[in-house]
């Protein structure tokens, strides 16, 4: 009680209270009034406090609501952006197939404003039609409430379409989600791949090379046949369908013996390609000969490319055999030729001995007759005997010419530099001595040096110059010329005269033995001189020819293959 102020108020002196009732009543009234005021004040303060708290609560609520709104907007923006940034077209349809949402890919690809899209039917916007197109899986989804997909061709574009149903809690369909993906480039790539594959498959099948494809087992111990082309089938005498999927050693056991298998293993291990040949003989007969090329592909598969070169090898072998036979034949011929040469030598020997002997007898006894029986013969008889002796002389010269010809054929050539001008000068000198009565102008080009056999070349010049001398013997102002000229990039040596010449019509056999262009009574001769000349030129690898016409002289040209 002492704690309350009210204690002090009542602690008034009793005399005073009874002193004045009015005073007391006033005091009581004042006190009561004061109490009421105080209590009223207290209650009002409490009410004010509660009002303030409610206000604060209201503000907080308002703030939460604002934040929720912000969050919602942010999330909505996030999803809208995501929705729009997906490159596939996305459409949300209500259960009546009216579009309620579409992403940017849709507006981009259709070119239709968003506002126009919303509320429209899917087929109107996407296909411009009044009802779902034939291949559209939407009716199916509506009926089954299950996802459906389809590939559709739209405006020249291939699209992949998926439709998913949106279901409520009671499993009632309230809409659908359509996702449209443009797969045109993928389709094109697939098409290109298919075409490329078809091309290569065709190539594979039509190649003349056999091709087999193998897959190595995991441990590389064997190979499974994966494919073989037509040429491969034909070369290996196998059928694609009966060998594919099998082990190579099961189908072709001979690959081990022929070394092919070892090559497969090596190529598979090292990755380095190998080229080699395999073959088989049955007895002497070649069964097959293959040229093989084995490569490991990037895919890890082993590819074997092989050519059947059996026929080629057979042809080569036949060729080789033929060549050997030819060589053998050449050897035989050479041998026969050597024998023939020997016979020719024997013949020449025989000619020189056996033919000359009786000739000498005829000449000798004719001379004896002319000497010992001169007085018994008349003029005519003596003339006849003279003829006999002359003829034997001619025969003797013929035999000598023939012998010389045969000797040239077998003589060894010993080529040295030869000064033909010097030789020609000497020959002319001797002819002038022998026939001092002849007046012949001679021109000899100086220093014509060639490479050849000096003795044989002297025989050539002797024959040609003597011919020129002889055939110009009936010509006034006879001229003989010896020189060198240049015809068709070749050095050509010539001997020219202005004598009788001859008709080229009959010149074909000019360089053959015993061929003569003139009657013996005009110009005597044996007919072996030019044959000898030609043989010598030939042995030097050169050629000889003549330019002439009757009464216009003749020019003999020759080349020497050995010429430096």
Partner 1 sequence: MNKIILLVEDNPSDIELTKRALSKSRIANELVVKEDGKEALDYVLNDCFTIGGQLPALILLDLKLPKVDGLTVLKTLRSDDRTRRIPIVILTTSSEKLDINSSYDLGANSYIRKPVDFNQFVEAVNSLGLYWLVVNEAPPT
Which residues of the chain form contacts with partner 1 (CB under 8 A)? 348-349, 352-353, 356-361, 363-368, 389, 392-393, 395-396, 400, 403, 407
Minimum Å distance from CB 356 to partner 1?
A: 4
Minimum Å distance from CB 393 to partner 1?
A: 6
Of 368 and 449, the one with the shorter C-beta distance to partner 1 is: 368
Distance of CA 28 to the CA centre of its chain: 135
Task: Show the tokens assigned to 84.
Answer: 């729009």
Distance CA 542, CA 554 (A): 20
Instruction: Give the number of other CB atoms < 10 A from CB of residue 501.
Output: 21
Task: Show the tokens assigned to 150.
Answer: 């389809």
Phi, psi (deg, nearest 5) at residue 94: -80, -175
Of 364 and 561, the one with the shorter C-beta distance to partner 1 is: 364
Phi, psi (deg, nearest 5) at residue 500: -65, -35
Of 24 and 382, the one with the shorter C-beta distance to partner 1 is: 382
Minimum Å distance from CB 543 to partner 1?
A: 28
Of 118 and 389, the one with the shorter C-beta distance to partner 1 is: 389
Minimum Å distance from CB 451 to partner 1?
A: 24
Of 366 and 421, the one with the shorter C-beta distance to partner 1 is: 366
DSSP strand pairing (554-558 vs 490-497): antiparallel
Phi, psi (deg, nearest 5) at residue 533: -55, -50
Task: Show the tokens assigned to 427.
Answer: 């020959």
Minimum Å distance from CB 317 to partner 1?
A: 47
Task: Classify each residue of 141-176 as buried b or exposed e, where b means 16 or more C-beta atoms within 10 Å of its C-beta.
Answer: bbeeeeebeeebeeeeebbbbbbbbeeeeeeebebb
Of 224 and 411, the one with the shorter C-beta distance to partner 1 is: 411
Of 27 and 403, the one with the shorter C-beta distance to partner 1 is: 403
- Beta bridge pairs of residue 449: 419
**Residue 121: DSSP 8-state:** B
Minimum Å distance from CB 461 to partner 1?
A: 21
DSSP strand pairing (554-558 vs 148-154): unpaired
Minimum Å distance from CB 458 to partner 1?
A: 16
Of 86 and 389, the one with the shorter C-beta distance to partner 1 is: 389
Please report where in the chains the tokens 């240049």 appear, as a residue: 486
Distance CA 402, CA 489 (A): 35
Minimum Å distance from CB 350 to partner 1?
A: 9
């Amino acid at each position: 009680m002492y704690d309350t102020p009210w204690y002090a108020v009542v602690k008034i002196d009793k005399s005073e209270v009874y002193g004045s009732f009015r005073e007391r009543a006033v005091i009581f009234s004042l006190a009561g009034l004061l109490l009421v005021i105080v209590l009223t004040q207290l209650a009002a303060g409490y009410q004010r406090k509660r009002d303030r708290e409610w206000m604060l609560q209201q503000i907080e609520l308002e703030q939460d609501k604002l934040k929720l709104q912000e969050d919602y907007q942010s999330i909505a923006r996030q999803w809208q952006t995501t929705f729009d940034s997906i490159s596939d077209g996305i459409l949300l349809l209500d259960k009546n197939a009216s579009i309620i949402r579409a992403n940017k890919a849709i507006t981009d690809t259709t070119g239709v404003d968003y506002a126009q899209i919303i509320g429209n039917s899917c087929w109107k916007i996407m296909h411009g039609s009044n009802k779902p197109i034939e291949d559209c899986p939407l009716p199916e989804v509506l009926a089954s409430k299950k996802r459906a997909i389809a590939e559709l061709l739209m405006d020249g574009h291939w699209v992949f379409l998926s439709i998913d149903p949106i279901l409520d809690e009671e499993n009632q369909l309230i809409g659908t989600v359509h996702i449209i993906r443009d797969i045109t480039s993928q389709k094109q790539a697939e098409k290109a791949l298919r075409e490329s594959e078809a091309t290569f498959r065709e190539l594979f099948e039509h190649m003349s090379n056999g091709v087999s494809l193998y897959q190595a087992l995991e441990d590389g111990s064997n190979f499974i046949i994966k494919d073989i082309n037509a040429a491969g089938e034909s070369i290996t005498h196998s059928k694609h369908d009966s060998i594919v999927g099998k082990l190579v050693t099961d189908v072709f056991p001979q690959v081990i013996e022929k070394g092919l298998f070892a090559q497969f293993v090596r190529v598979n291990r090292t990755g380095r390609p190998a080229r080699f040949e395999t073959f088989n003989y049955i007895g002497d007969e070649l069964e097959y000969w293959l040229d093989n090329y084995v490569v490991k592909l990037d895919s890890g598969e082993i590819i074997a490319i092989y050519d059947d070169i059996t026929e080629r090898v057979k042809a080569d072998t036949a060729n080789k055999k033929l060549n050997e036979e030819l060589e053998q034949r050449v050897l035989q011929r050479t041998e026969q030729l050597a024998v023939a040469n020997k016979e020719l030598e024997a013949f020449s020997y025989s000619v020189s001995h056996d033919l000359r002997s009786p000739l000498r007898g005829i000449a000798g006894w004719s001379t004896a007759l002319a000497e010992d029986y001169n007085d018994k013969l008349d003029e005519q008889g003596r003339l006849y005997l003279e003829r006999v002796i002359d003829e034997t002389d001619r025969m003797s010269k013929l035999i000598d010419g023939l012998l010389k010809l045969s000797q040239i054929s077998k003589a060894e050539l010993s080529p040295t530099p030869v000064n033909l001008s010097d030789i020609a000068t000497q020959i002319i000198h001797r002819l002038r001595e022998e026939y001092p009565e002849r007046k012949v102008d001679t021109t000899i080009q100086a220093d014509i040096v060639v490479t050849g056999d000096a003795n044989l070349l002297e025989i050539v010049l002797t024959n040609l110059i003597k011919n020129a001398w002889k055939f110009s013997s009936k010509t006034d102002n006879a001229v003989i010329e010896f020189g060198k000229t240049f015809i068709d990039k070749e050095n050509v040596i010539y001997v020219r005269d202005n004598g009788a010449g001859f008709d080229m019509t009959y010149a074909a056999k000019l360089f053959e033995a015993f061929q003569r262009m003139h009657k013996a009574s005009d110009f005597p001769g044996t007919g072996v001189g030019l044959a000898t000349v030609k043989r010598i030129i030939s042995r030097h690898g050169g050629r000889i020819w003549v330019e002439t016409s009757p009464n216009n002289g003749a020019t003999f040209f020759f080349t020497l293959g050995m010429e430096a």
